[in-house]
Structure 1
Amino acid sequence: MEPTREPNPSPRRPAGVSEEEAALFNPAFISLLYARTIQGWNKESDDDMPLPIAFLAVGLCLHAPTRGQLPGNVSAKYVDWVQRNPDVRAQFPPSVQQLSPLLRSGLLFALGTRVCTLKSPASLVLGNGRPRAAIDGDSADVVSVQRSALFLGRWLSKSGDAASIFGLIGVRP
């Protein structure tokens, strides 16, 4: 049975998001994940990271079942990975739709604190408030999510254009 969502009693919590989700996926942590994703992208590409791909990457690293199925290296082909993991294509689109308010809130936090900045209308770069290079955290999950964000930035930079990346996983930008 699906847990029922309470009405949004707080203007700080997006509608449709439980208190637990809002606490775990707070804007500061999500802004850190955007920065980690951009850091990874910058290791593999001289181009700026397209905003839609950053949004997708952070959603992917927050989705635990998908995070657990990521390949071990950036040379893996994205198209092959999607074909070998059809459950990701089935489970991820509804998950990212549910996470969207949190992803947007984290992005706004990242922009407001200058962790990331918009360089053009559709690309993100690291800002002055960038995190340290070392990945650490209070739990193994926090470290795992950050490492996944860094990996996804690197991997997706080699995986084709945004339309192809989104289309293969069944999500529209």
Structure 2
Amino acid sequence: MLVKTDLSEEELGLYNPAFVGFLLLACLREFVVTKPGGMHCALSFLVVPMCLNRSITKTLPKTYKTPIGVWMSSNEGVLSGFANQAEAFIPIVNMGLLFLMERDLIVINSEGCAVLGENDIAKNPALFNKSSYMNEALKAFKFIGKWFSHAPSTETVFAQLGIRP
């Protein structure tokens, strides 16, 4: 289990577990609309670094119907260092997932998929309207949740992004 001292104060301030956890929860809410069985927890390790990188979020397609492979081939330059970036985000993603699990907001099932727990947390908190960064991040997480839910499999998403799980 990670402790907060694994990250610098600046990293904790920017990527605190509650913030990242809420964004992952928003992503999961969109994902389960299409796939009620849940989102494989490994996808969280792609979602977070993608959605918290403005260079990537600015290039996201306009519609979830765009195949990931098509988007990837037209944005290879933006994604050239993505594998290293995803690796750097592992502790941040772990802390966000742990935050959600400790509060029973998500449950990881026997297939390794995150499913929604019981919660009445607002889907669009007013706080997110006060910051363009937070609002853009929330939109990106929701979009990626919907987009990834239409992919054939978790393995396909990883393969198309050139990442080994």
- Alignment TM-score > 0.5, same fold: yes
Once the two structures are TM-superposed, the CA of residue 150 in structure 1 deviates from its matched residue by 0.8
Choose the corresponding residue for 1:106, options 69, 88, 96.
96
Choose the corresponding residue for 2:114, options 103, 121, 124.
124
Choose the corresponding residue for 1:71, options 48, 61, 65.
61
Equivalent residue number for residue 33 of structure 2: 43
Structure 2, unpaired ranges of 5+: none
Pair 1:146-2:138 in alignment:
yes
Which amino acid in the other structure matches residue 152 of structure 1? I
Pair 1:89-2:98 in alignment:
no
Once the two structures are TM-superposed, the CA of residue 130 in structure 1 deviates from its matched residue by 5.2
Does the CA contact (< 8 Å) of 1:59 and 1:96 recur in 2?
yes
The 5 Å alignment of 1:17-32 reads 17-32=7-22
Q: Take 2:9 and 2:163, find their aligned partners in 1: how far apart are those partners?
A: 26
Equivalent residue number for residue 167 of structure 1: 159
How many residues get paired?
161
Residues 44 and 156 of structure 1: is their aligned pair in 2 closer, same or farther, counting only changes over 3 Å? same
Structure 1, unpaired ranges of 5+: 1-10
Once the two structures are TM-superposed, the CA of residue 151 in structure 1 deviates from its matched residue by 0.6
Q: Take 1:18 and 1:91, find their aligned partners in 2: how far apart are those partners?
A: 22
CA RMSD of aligned residues (A): 1.7
Which amino acid in the other structure matches residue 115 of structure 1? L
Once the two structures are TM-superposed, the CA of residue 83 in structure 1 deviates from its matched residue by 0.3
Determine helix, strand or coil for the equivalent of 2:164. coil
The TM-score normalised by the length of structure 1 is: 0.85
Further displaced range: 88-97 or 33-42: 88-97
Q: Take 1:58 and 1:81, find their aligned partners in 2: how far apart are those partners?
A: 18
Pair 1:158-2:150 in alignment:
yes
Does the CA contact (< 8 Å) of 1:115 and 1:127 recur in 2?
yes
Once the two structures are TM-superposed, the CA of residue 45 in structure 1 deviates from its matched residue by 2.4
Does the CA contact (< 8 Å) of 2:48 and 2:89 recur in 1?
no
